Chains A and B, each alone.
Chain A
Amino acid sequence: MHRYIIRRMLMLIPVMLGVSFIVFTIMFFTPGDPARILLGERAPAAEIAALRTQMGLDDSFLVQFFNFVRNALRGDLGRSLVTRRPVAEELFARFPATLQLAATAVVIAVAIGIPVGIISAIRQYSLFDGTAMTIALIGVSMPNFWQGLMMILLFSVYLGWLPSSGIGTFAHLIMPAITIGTSSAALITRMTRSSMLEVIRQDFIRTARAKGLDERVVINRHALKNALIPVITVIGLQFGYLLGGAVLTETVFAWPGVGRLMVDAIRQKDFPMVQGGVLLLALAFSAVNLIVDILYAYIDPRIKAQYK
C-alpha cells in the first residue's frame, strides 16, 4: 500500500517538470521583451541590454529553463512585470479565495449529484429520472460565465437578494459557488446514475435480491459501495477543472482569486504571473488527483491487493 502511494507521488515529479517545461516554452516564445516591458518603451537600449543580462534573458533556452525550475523549487517564480512584487507571494495571497470557491462548489455538486443520480438510477425512466436527466444536460450545456451573469441579473439586479461581486460574507460566496458547481453537479449526477445502473445489473445484486434482502439493504449495502468508486475519480477530476474553470467565474463575480489575477495579468502582458498561475493551478489539480488516487486505493481492495 505504501509502495503504491510512494510510487504515485514520485510520478508527480516528472509530470510537474513536464508541465513547467510546456508552460515555460509557451511563455519563452511569446513575442515581447520582459526587460522592455519593465523599463518602458522609451528606455535606452543600453539599459535594456543591461537588465536583460541581469535577468538572465540572454542565456540559452535550456539554461533559462534550468534556472526557472531551480528557482521555482525554492518558491521563487520571478517578479511580476507590473507590480514588481514576487509572483509567488501574489499567487499565494489569492489562492485561498480560489480554493474556498472550488471547495464550496464541489460540496454543492456532490450534495446534489450523488443523491439525484442514485434516485434516477433506481427509478430509471421514471418522471423523476427524465426530469433530472434533462436538467443535468442543460446544466452541462450552459456556459458558466453566462449562467453567472444570468444569476446576477435575477438575484442582484431584479430581486436584490445577493451581492453581485466581491468577497467577504457568505452571501458573496453563494452565486459564484453555484455557478461553478452547476456543471459539476450535472456531471456527477450523470456519472452516479450510469455507474449505479451498471452495478444494479450485475449478478451479485441479483443474488442479494434473490436471498430476499430488503431492497433498501441491497441498494445501500451492496450497490452503492460499488457504484460510488468510479464517481470518486470524477469528483477529483471535477475539483481540478473547477480550479481551472474558476478563471471565468471569478472574472464574472470580481472574485479576488488566482483566476482573476491571471486574467488581469494576461491583459497587462505580465507573463511571469501567467506562467506562475498556470503552474500553481496545474500543481493543485495534480495534487487533488493524487489524493483521489490514494483514497481510491483505500476504498478499492483490488488495488490494495495488487500492492500487498
Chain B
Amino acid sequence: MDKEKDKELQPSHPESGYAIEGASEQASVVDGAPHSEPVGRKEPKQRGQWAEVWRRLKRNRMAMFGFAVILIIVLTAIFADVIAPYSFREQNLRRIAESPSMDHLLGTDELGRDIFSRIIYGTRISLQVGFVAVSISVIAGGFLGALAGYYGNKLDNVIMRFMDILLAIPSILLAIAIVSAFGGGLVNVMIAVGISSIPVYARIVKASVMSIKEQEFIEAARAVGARDLRIIFKHVLPNAMAPIIVQGTIGVANAILSAAGLSFIGLGIQPPTPEWGAMLSGGRMFIRTAPHIATFPGVAIMITIFALNLLGDGLRDALDPRLKQ
C-alpha cells in the first residue's frame, strides 16, 4: 500500500521499498552496495564480489556460528538413518511418555516412540518445508516482481495491487485458509506457506529491478539488441540477488515456524510423520504429566530458527558494508 511510498520519502532509504514480512526492520538495510553500484565494471569479476561477501561473513562470529549450526542440521537430516537410535514410527507401548533416560535420551512420547529419533528425522521435514516453501515464494514473487519492476506502468499496477490484497491477509491466516480448504499434508503445507509469502519477494525484487534497470549496462544490453527476457534473467536478476538471499534465509525460518504452527493446530503435516510442530501438538495434552514431550521439539525449532536468523543477519551485514562502519 502506501508503505512503499512512505519509505521513499525518507531520505535515508533511497530506493528501498522492501516491506519485509515479520522482520520489517530490514526495510532499510538490504539496499545499497552490491546491486546499486554501477556493475558494468564489475561484470567480469562477479566472483570477486561474492568472495568479498564471504570474507566479511567469515569475520562475523555470530553468523558463522549460525552457519555451523545449520550445517550440522543439514548433515543430521542427510544422515538421519545413521544417527537416530530408533525408527521414527516404532512404538513401544510398554514405555509410554517416559522421561529422558540412557535408553531414550530425550524420553518417549505419548505412543512410546523415541523423541530423540523423531526430532532427528524431523530435521528432514522442516528443512524440506523451509526450502521448498521459500523456493515457491522466491520463484513466483521474483517473477512477478521482476515483471512489475521492469515493465512498470499498468502491469506494475496490476501486479502490485494484487500483492497488496494478498498482504492484507496476515500470512498465517492465508496459509490456514488454504490448508483448511485443500487439506493438510506436506505438499499442501509447503504450497500454502509458499503462496502466503509471495508478496514479500515480489516487493523486494520489484524495488531492486527498478533501480537496476535504469543503469547504463542495461541500456547497453538493450542497445546490442538483447531481448527483454534475456535482459531480465541475465542482467537484472543476478544483480538483485543480495536482498533475495537475505530475505530468503530469514524466509526459511519463517516458513518452518508457519508450518510448525499449522501442524500444531492439526492442519499441517499428519502423523506419524515426525514434524516438530505436530510432535509438540501431541505432547500438549501431557504438559502436566510428561512435559518433556512438548518441550524438546520446541527446542529443536528454536535452535533451527535462531541459527537461520543469525546467518540472515550476518548475510545482511556482509552484503551491506554501509552499516558496518
Q: How many residues of B contact A (CB 8 A)?
A: 60
Q: Is B287 an interface residue (CB 8 A)?
A: yes
Bound CA–CA A283/B313 (angstroms): 32
Select which of A15, A146, A275, A302 is within 8 A of B168 by beta carbon.
A15
Q: Is B215 an interface residue (CB 8 A)?
A: no
Q: How many A-B Cβ pairs are below 8 Å? A: 183
- Name which of B82-90, B131-139, B240-248, B263-271 contacts chain A: B263-271
For residue B207, give the distance in angstroms from its CB to the closest CB of chain A. Answer: 16
A: contact size bracket: 35 or more
Bound CA–CA A248/B288 (angstroms): 20
Give the residues from 183 to 197 in chain A that come closer than 8 angstroms, CB to CB, to chain B: 187, 190-191, 194-195, 197
Q: Is A105 an interface residue (CB 8 A)?
A: no
Select which of B23, B181, B266 is within 8 A of A29 by beta carbon.
B181
Bound CA–CA A145/B267 (angstroms): 14
In the complex, what residue of chain B is closest to A238 when comparing beta carbons?
B24
- A30→B182 contact, CB < 8 A: yes
Query: Using Cβ atoms and an 8 Å threshold, which residues of chain A touch B257?
Result: 143
- Name which of A16-24, A38-46, A67-75, A166-174 contacts chain B: A16-24
Q: Is A112 an interface residue (CB 8 A)?
A: no
Show the binding face of B for A, using Cβ within 8 Å.
1-3, 6-7, 9-10, 12, 19, 22-25, 27-29, 161-162, 164-166, 168-174, 176-178, 180-182, 253, 257, 260-261, 264-267, 277, 280, 284, 287-288, 291, 294-295, 297-298, 301-302, 305-306, 309-310, 313, 323
Show the binding face of A for B, using Cβ within 8 Å.
8, 11, 14-16, 18-19, 21-23, 26-27, 29-30, 137-138, 140-143, 145-147, 149-150, 152-153, 157, 187, 190-191, 194-195, 197-199, 202, 229-230, 233-234, 237, 240-241, 243-245, 247-248, 251-252, 262-263, 266-267, 271, 274-275, 278, 281-282, 285-286, 289, 293, 296, 300, 302-303, 306
Of the A-B pairs whose beta carbons lie under 8 Å apart in the complex, a sample of 20, sorted by A's number, is A14-B165, A15-B161, A22-B174, A26-B181, A137-B310, A140-B309, A143-B260, A143-B277, A145-B264, A145-B280, A146-B297, A149-B284, A150-B295, A157-B291, A194-B25, A234-B25, A251-B264, A262-B176, A266-B176, A289-B3
